[in-house]
Structure formats: structure tokens, C-alpha cells
Amino acid sequence: MSLAASAAAALVASCNVHELSHAAAATALRWDVARVNLCLPSGGSVEYARTGAQAGNLEGYAGGLGAAGFLVAAYALVFARRARPLDSPFWWAAGVGVVAWIGLQILIGLLEGFAGGIDRDYTELFADHPSVLLPLAGAAVAAGVVAYARRWRAVWER
């Protein structure tokens, strides 16, 4: 139950930070942000009144990388204390729910930045290449979970 709750909360929070990161990067690039549509209950987006030609793919990278940074910070503040996951299975499982989305946010950020550089929506890349990108997304989630489990296994074995 703690895994499901923390995974859901981390997903919604990181999705919103993702969109806010796009807006922050766009503002830094002097684009005009008209509206930020937050991620409840579906995916969010950012609407622009005016975009600039410069560094468009930087704005694309910012979403996923900002969200991944947020998840790393949340993990560091709540779960990274050496003894926290050892306190109970509840805390250990809750930590898994947070780290699971880090790799996926990095992947999405890289795809958005790459797609922005070729003037495409990153979701088109998923639609055009599902046999490659869907397993890659699953592997990104699994990588976070495996790294988390290995880290705490090493702590337990000390």
C-alpha cells in the first residue's frame, strides 16, 4: 500500500514539476508562457503566447530533467537517511515508489529535447516506434527500482 501511495504521489508531483520546469526554462529563454495546465487527473501541458527560435530543445529537456531532479531531492530529503528504509518495510516500499519515476522522467526529458530539435512532439516518437520506446520506458522504471534495491541490499549486508 505504501508503494502504491508513494508511486501515485510521486508521479503526480513529478508531472506537475515537469510542466513547471518547461515554463521556467521557457521564461528564461524569454518565451511568453500563457498557461500551465497541471497534471490532475491527466497529463499536463504548457501553452505559449509566443515562442522563441533560440534553444527550443533546451525548453524540451528542462521538463524531464527538472522533474527527475525534483524526485532525487524528494528522495534525498525523505528516504536517503541511512536508517530510514531499515525502519520498516513501509518506508522501504514507499522509497521504491519515488525512485521508480526518476529514469522515466530523464528518458522523457531527453526525448522531448531531441524531438524539439527536429520539430516533432515526443509523443509522436512513441507512436512511431512503440516496439523500441515502450520497452525502453519500462527499462528506465526498472533501472531506478533495481538501483534502489541494490543500494539498500548493500546497506543491509554491512
- Average confidence (pLDDT) over 20-33: 92
The 10 Å Cβ neighbour count of residue 75 is 17
For residue 100, report the phi and psi dihedrals to the nearest 5 degrees.
-60, -30
What confidence tens digit (pLDDT) does each residue in 90-135 have?
A: 888 899 999 999 999 999 999 888 877 666 777 888 888 889 889 9
102-117 and 2-28 helices, crossing angle to 10°: 30
